[in-house]
Amino acid sequence: MQLEEHEASSLIAQRQKKLGAIVELGFEPYPRKFDVTHTLPEILASYSGKTAEELEKEKPVVRAAGRMMTIRPHGKAGFAHLAGGGVRLQVYVRLDAVGERDFELYKLLDLGDLIGVEGYLFRTRTGELTIHAGRLQFLAKALLPMPEKWHGLADVEIRYRQRYLDLLANEEVRKTFERRSRIVRALRDFLDGEGFMEVETPMMQPLPGGALARPFKTHHNALDIDLYLRVAPELYLKRLVVGGLDRVYEINRNFRNEGISTQHNPEFTMLEFYQAYADYRDMMDLTERLLRHVTKTVLGSTTFEYAEQEISLDRFHRLTMKEAIVEYWPKEAGTAPTMEGVVETRGVFKWIEAFDRWAAQQSGESIHPLALPQGTAPGMALQALFEAVAERYLIQPTFITEFPLEVSPLSKQKPDDPNFVERFELFIGGMELANAFSELNDPREQRDRFEYQQLLREKGDLSAHTVDEDYVRALSYGMPPTGGEGIGIDRLTMLLTGSKSIRDVILFPLLRPEKKSGE
């Protein structure tokens, strides 16, 4: 929506004209500053407890500023609400208190205008804390009209494209993002308290690595090299562990050139942390403590509602990937596999056949056959079957362990079963929230894994790893046994704010750009 388009329309023309009239009264149209004695939340904090009589005696004088969200004129007096800092405060303006000029200004103000007020606090007949204005100061004009004051802004496209309007019109949106900020602060507090050091590693990487996902590609002109926006900070953080930073973490953006959904945005925020001399079991314990700390700090409780389900962080369940398949196998799809049945890795294909036969008969939208391509590795097939069968049912916090080797190129193998690795993913509310493992620190094994990935890549899997020689070199200097983990901050925020879409916890989610008129 271009401003020029509106120039001719009466609404903006009217307001432009009013701005002219305000200047005529001797006010600057866009003044530099306004010194306040209090923010609006500070006024509420200091004076909400005071009675009408106490205020009447003290007549505390304040200077405050905000955006006009309501206006109720009554002839030679009137009310308005100022909004700011997530609260509202009423202002009472009367001709005999503010004088001709300021009262003329009051009459020229529109919803959305920014003003400063000086006056004393009192309570109205209905008991509402209110500034009795002695002076008004014009601060800025809203040339475009605010969204509807009662229903707010409902059009989701405008809410995402013009988040500033969403924040102004919908109080709960501001609350969601305030909570997100507290979540991140609580994470930092917890990790700092555990002796972790926060670091920043490259967002632009010559080789994309650390996760199996397609990267965004860009180009640096001066060096004339291609660079990739990182899909994960993992390989850099582990280089730091090699360098003796035994406990490190990073909270920052990752970029993945994949689809967009209610759980995926191309750029998203990830917490990754690494702890030397620890393994994936230690990471489980740490995760439980971390999530309880954050939830308790932010919500005051370790239980909360999500998608009409009561979720409790008091107990974290543990299932191996195979156990989860057995547990959640659809009864209608025939006899469930037994643990013995899935022990033999190749046996998984039998169960995929059974699942696909059943899924093909389902008319529902949400169940589809896996239809794996010919030659899919057994480990990949197992993970695909797990996701199809079990993932959506993992509402209560559940660690899924024993991931197949093929889908885990950076994890250490299990000593008793080299086809599987020491890795878990944490599921809450049917979403994958965290991914952790005992980090592979054998450089020769790591090179073999990279080379297998390279093979997949050459077969057309664009999310497979490339060989990172410098990372192998770093491991060759010796990396301590290390546990590492990534936690999706956006999804954690979804859980703790009851948001069904990731777009509701990202201030500016990616949308297709608006077309300019005339194109």
Partner RNA sequence: GGGCCGGUAGCUCAAUGGUAGAGCACUGCCCUUUUAAGGCAGGGGUUCUGGGUUCGAAUCCCAGCCGGCUCACCA
Looking at this protein, which amino acid is placed at residue 247? R
Q: Which residues contact 494 (CB under 8 A, 6 or more apart)?
A: 306, 429, 431, 500, 501, 502, 504, 505
* The one among 57, 76, 185, 473 contacting RNA by CB under 7 A: 76
Nearer to RNA, 141 or 412 (CB): 141
Residues 407-446 that bind RNA (CB under 7 A): 425, 432, 435
Contacting range for RNA; rule: CB under 7 A; set: 58-66, 133-141, 199-207, 495-503: 495-503
Nearest CA among 98, 137, 93, 94 for reference residue 115: 137
3-state secondary structure of 435: strand
Residues 4-63 that bind RNA (CB under 7 A): 9-11, 14, 18
Q: Are 324 and 386 in contact (CB under 8 A)?
A: yes
Rounded to a whole number of angstroms, the minimum distance from the CB of residue 370 to RNA is 7
Q: Which helix (H) or strand (E) holds 308?
A: none
Q: Are 487 and 433 in contact (CB under 8 A)?
A: yes
- Residue position matching structure tokens 């990073």: 250
Q: Is 516 in the site for RNA (CB under 7 A)?
A: no
> How many residues line the site for RNA (CB under 7 A)?
81
Q: Are 270 and 236 in contact (CB under 8 A)?
A: no
Nearer to RNA, 108 or 242 (CB): 108
* The one among 104, 246, 258, 288 contacting RNA by CB under 7 A: 258
Q: Is 77 in the site for RNA (CB under 7 A)?
A: yes
Query: DSSP string covering 121-162, please?
Result: EEE-TT--EEEEEEEEEEEE---SPPPPTTT----HHHHHHT
| Per-residue exposure over 255-289, b if at least 16 CB sit within 10 Å of its own CB, e if not | bbbeeeeebebbbbbbbbbbbbebbbebbbebbbe
* The one among 102, 110, 234, 402 contacting RNA by CB under 7 A: 110
Q: Is 81 in the site for RNA (CB under 7 A)?
A: yes
Rounded to a whole number of angstroms, the minimum distance from the CB of residue 75 to RNA is 2
Q: Which residues contact 223 (CB under 8 A, 6 or more apart)?
A: none
* The one among 44, 95, 245, 395 contacting RNA by CB under 7 A: 95
Residues 136-155 that bind RNA (CB under 7 A): 144-155
Contacting range for RNA; rule: CB under 7 A; set: 91-99, 282-290, 333-341, 415-423: 91-99
Nearer to RNA, 169 or 276 (CB): 169
Rounded to a whole number of angstroms, the minimum distance from the CB of residue 161 to RNA is 8
Nearer to RNA, 127 or 193 (CB): 127
Nearest CA among 447, 437, 451 for reference residue 476: 447
Q: Is 361 in the site for RNA (CB under 7 A)?
A: no
Rounded to 10 degrees, what is the CA torsion of 407, 412, 413, 416? -150
* The one among 39, 70, 419, 454 contacting RNA by CB under 7 A: 70
Rounded to a whole number of angstroms, the minimum distance from the CB of residue 317 to RNA is 18
* The one among 125, 219, 331, 516 contacting RNA by CB under 7 A: 125
Q: Are 279 and 422 in contact (CB under 8 A)?
A: yes
Q: Is 384 in the site for RNA (CB under 7 A)?
A: yes
Residues 312-351 that bind RNA (CB under 7 A): none
Residues 452-471 that bind RNA (CB under 7 A): 463
Tell me the C-alpha distance between 475 and 241, whole Å: 10
Rounded to a whole number of angstroms, the minimum distance from the CB of residue 116 to RNA is 20
- Phi first, then psi, for residue 34 (nearest 5°) are -145, 115
Q: Is 491 in the site for RNA (CB under 7 A)?
A: yes
Q: Is 259 in the site for RNA (CB under 7 A)?
A: yes
Residues 186-215 that bind RNA (CB under 7 A): 211-213
What is the per-residue binding string for RNA in 261-300, x denoting contact by CB under 7 A? xxxxxx-x--------------------------------
Tell me the C-alpha distance between 281 and 58, whole Å: 62
